[in-house]
Structure 1
């Protein structure tokens, strides 16, 4: 399996990756459906597709292979209601198995913050879900009468913050980092040699602020989809 394309189709955008000889060599995101369809036409090898949107047309090419998250997986699922487990969380767990052997926790910092733990035996045992950075800021604006909507960004000022905008931005970011740090500490207590990997749109900004020894891997989900593809189609 020399070259495989990956499509990670979300509700708002599609990420793509190309694996050659088992390694991620190129990746990016599409700005439009037309760009995505042109890429599919030009790519001459198998393409593994994870479709969260439910609107993707698999008839575009016979090279398209849908990923079945309820079928054969490289990770064992030990979860009370696996039918409710998000496919992105399953993919991240499989990404940990692919690139971070042993016990590991994935932190996906997107619309929500998800925490996903895989044991040293390759078993997914759950994790946690909390509101993401933007969601916290948006909630304070929408559920109050006067607080403004502010962009998610780090604040150069230190606590105590001296303006309403900095109060919102600064304390939200401090709280987010404190929450993630506490989850990491609990994980490390249970798995002292375990690895912590952060991914998602806010991963880089958060990794810089966190004092823990963690890996930033923006392509963890793509790696997980590739790992599942190997198990289902190889």
Structure 2
């Protein structure tokens, strides 16, 4: 059994995998060593046939507690994803040391689903990232833009009178009939137009490209499985498991 941990900007996700199958996933808004140990032990003890965790991988875009890292290093065959980690793809990014682990893992996860394909991964979270992998397995880069909630917060933070919008749905009117409605229209409809426009730009250059949406805000986008568009939950975790399997010593 393998332990996959992803420290993101908002949540820490802890998952258990067996081969390529996700067995269990839990998200924590905050986590310490005691909470992690309790969660691991509880999950293992609840299994009909208690298993053994042999390998662990951690990806983090934040500074996570040092005691968690020390525990994982001494308990399992441990990998912390870094620019030096061997990968099943080639990184052609000009500044690999600044490339986010979540972006790397998402691309690897996409490749595991669609090998030998041109891929665009759209990860809609705190930021919306676009990551391109060509059919030869070369990661070339992409784009980063503010996510939906970040756009709402920015309008409130950098103006004197615009309110912070906390509740909003997937579909909003094109013409906002109030200040709140206008903000919702600008953010939601604007981000949809931006994402759709970028996708079309990629399609012009790569007609057979497959588009994979992932991230916490994917429900705001049209991810109907048509025109080579797919929605994949927890793509980063899938990619981390693939990287762990690629590096694991049996």
Distance of aligned partners of 1:117 and 1:155 in 2 relative to their CA distance in 1, 3 Å threshold? closer
SS of the aligned residue for 2:94 comes to: coil
SS of the aligned residue for 1:207 comes to: coil
Deviation, structure 1 residue 195: 1.0
Instruction: Report what 2:70 is aligned to.
Output: 59
SS of the aligned residue for 2:168 comes to: coil
SS of the aligned residue for 1:167 comes to: helix
Instruction: Report what 1:84 is aligned to.
Output: 98
Instruction: Report what 1:201 is aligned to.
Output: 216
Deviation, structure 1 residue 116: 0.2
Deviation, structure 1 residue 154: 2.5
Q: Supply the RMSD in Å over aligned alpha carbons.
A: 2.3
1:69 aligns with 2:78: no
Q: Deviations over 1:3-55 (max 9, x none)?
A: 21211123442112222232223323135424322123455312222233333
* TM-score of the pair, normalised by structure 2: 0.84
Deviation, structure 1 residue 68: 3.1
User: Gaps (5+ residues) in structure 1?
Assistant: none
Instruction: Report what 2:47 is aligned to.
Output: none
Q: Spell out structure 1 runs of 4+ moving beyond 6 A.
A: 209-212
User: Gaps (5+ residues) in structure 2?
Assistant: 45-51
The question of whether the paired residues in 2 share the 8 Å contact of 1:6 and 1:18 is answered with: yes
The question of whether the paired residues in 2 share the 8 Å contact of 1:30 and 1:36 is answered with: no
Distance of aligned partners of 1:9 and 1:157 in 2 relative to their CA distance in 1, 3 Å threshold? closer
Instruction: Give the number of equivalent residue pairs.
Output: 232
* TM-score of the pair, normalised by structure 1: 0.89
Q: Deviations over 1:51-109 (max 9, x none)?
A: 33333322324125123322211110011111111111111111111122211111111
Distance of aligned partners of 1:54 and 1:5 in 2 relative to their CA distance in 1, 3 Å threshold? same
Looking at structure 1, the residues matched to 28 and 170 of structure 2 have their Cα atoms a distance apart, in angstroms, of: 30
SS of the aligned residue for 1:117 comes to: strand
Q: What is the correspondence of 1:116-135 to structure 2 with a 5 Å cutoff?
A: 116-135=131-150
SS of the aligned residue for 2:149 comes to: helix
Instruction: Report what 2:169 is aligned to.
Output: 154
The question of whether the paired residues in 1 share the 8 Å contact of 2:56 and 2:78 is answered with: yes
The question of whether the paired residues in 2 share the 8 Å contact of 1:134 and 1:152 is answered with: no
Of 39-48 and 108-117, more deviation after overlay is shown by 39-48
Distance of aligned partners of 1:146 and 1:212 in 2 relative to their CA distance in 1, 3 Å threshold? farther
Q: What is the correspondence of 1:1-234 to structure 2 with a 5 Å cutoff?
A: 3-30=1-28, 32-33=30-31, 34-42=34-42, 43=44, 44-45=52-53, 46-56=55-65, 57-61=68-72, 62-63=75-76, 65-70=78-83, 71-101=85-115, 102-151=117-166, 153-154=168-169, 156-207=171-222, 214-234=229-249
SS of the aligned residue for 1:127 comes to: strand
